[in-house]
Structure 1
């Protein structure tokens, strides 16, 4: 006698739960695997702002704006102790409101508080890049490392563009790899105005609609 046994597959993915989040207009210092900044959110029953350690797929956060969003929240399986228990995916952006009177919370004020390390140039990922820059708001100056040498100069900024001016640097000799990175970086920096934006924890510089330089936030 032949017995046929049917085995029903068990889904390893939990059903997504639709939740509403209020996202605050400024980030807050927090500690995950290392010191970082986190979004601040309120859930349906929140009485005060809570730190949000993970990311939300599809959501582009800009400091200075308060958001009301709908997200799909899915519980993960076999989550490590130091990781978020959920995956979040943007379902709908219900409201994006520019907050007035928060002079320390604009996108540019956020840029000024951090060191920015190069992570992508002309579409190429820069692994362990030595290139970084720091802005001085009071003097309208910028300084950093161009890979081999240090550089410094001025900058002019409008609401959504930035131009670097009169850049100068040291003249140390380097290996061919660093020289190549430095030459490409300085050529871009001296090439005229960039359009810029801040998304999550990256500073992005564009020429037209093309992203040419992407920097990641790093501790000062």
Structure 2
């Protein structure tokens, strides 16, 4: 059995910390080692514990999440950083991702999304909540230079995807979540997850976000 994933929770709301502890207590592979009320306290905890993942709020007094991430990046062996927030904004999301954050998750998400985000982050992936992902995809399209070919069409031609996987890729590039794709295509969520995993592998991507960026920013 592999070692548990050691997590540090960072949030200035005690109720949130308590709720998150409860979420992760239902798992056998994730352990909450410590918690902190702000970035400064988090840095002190990092000096005391062996932490794999920091799950941190963005808006906190004394030191906020993005500033904490900047300090974490200066450590010799920085833990993985996953941001969690109740106040979603494109500017903050882009800052977190630009600084190397492995996730950007809304507090309104179901507990399983947070659990999956921690697991995915330790596997080298990246998780972005569906609403934020949808906006990010839209921004990527807007930022594209005008082309004579559609990058998604070209990607579909270059990869040996099944028809079902092609349909999933198109919806992925629209920013849809697994549940939304399952409803749209009349598949189970487990089937959608399998297709997404296969597509990510074929494109040599590290996560669904990295896949979308690869497809939409590809130079064909």
Instruction: Flag whether TM exceeds 0.5 (same fold).
Output: no
TM-score normalized by the length of structure 2: 0.26
More helix by share: 2
User: Which has a greater percent of strand?
Assistant: 1
